Structure 1
């Protein structure tokens, strides 16, 4: 399958071929069926954030002790790993300087 350009925005939780729909932070080249993984992760983040909105009203539960926040963080890390895998050299360098990125 042929690769296409996709524009990914973590701020807007989007992955699209149309650069003008939403501001994007990253351009990747990937087969369309692989790009769907981004949308699946973004949908999971949306659902977790909706659940988190209810939890936010519990004042005694701190962020670092909340499992839902860890689930969101894990998905964001997965998105960055995919951006690293399919991005250009400049994108890879950016992701590699993030504090939670470790190359094995």
Structure 2
């Protein structure tokens, strides 16, 4: 049997917490340890790609749409949001759907 716990997610800083604190969180999800590990991987990879985009931003002749770091960053966030949607409570599912960032919702 899956042992799901409640987690509070802040996408902007990649925070995943089991403690509902005064800090801002965006979404509430129910996940097991494997699912949280996978979500953490998406956030970590997005961070790596974001750093690559930062370095690229100092090269003025490379346009945004020609930067593969941006594409990979967007892809990781798409995966994270899809997972948050799949694991989220009703309110989380509604919020993610309203954002319109996941194709097919």
SS of equivalent residue, structure 1 residue 97: helix
RMSD: 1.8
1:55-70 alignment, distance < 5 Å: 55-70=56-71
* TM-score calculated relative to the size of structure 1: 0.88
Deviation at 1:66, TM superposition (A): 1.0
- In structure 2, what is the equivalent of residue 34 of structure 1? 35
Counterpart Cα distance in 1 of 2:64 and 2:32: 36
Q: Contact (CA 8 Å) 2:53, 2:67: kept in 1 or not?
A: no
Q: Distance in 2 between matches of 1:32 and 1:13?
A: 16
- How many pairs does the alignment contain? 104
TM-score by length of 2: 0.87
1:53 aligns with 2:57: no
Deviation at 1:21, TM superposition (A): 8.2
Q: Which runs of 4+ in 1 moved over 4 A?
A: none
1:103: how far off? 2.7
Tell me which of the two structures has the higher relative contact order, counting C-alpha pairs closer than 8 angstroms and 6 or more residues apart. Answer: 2
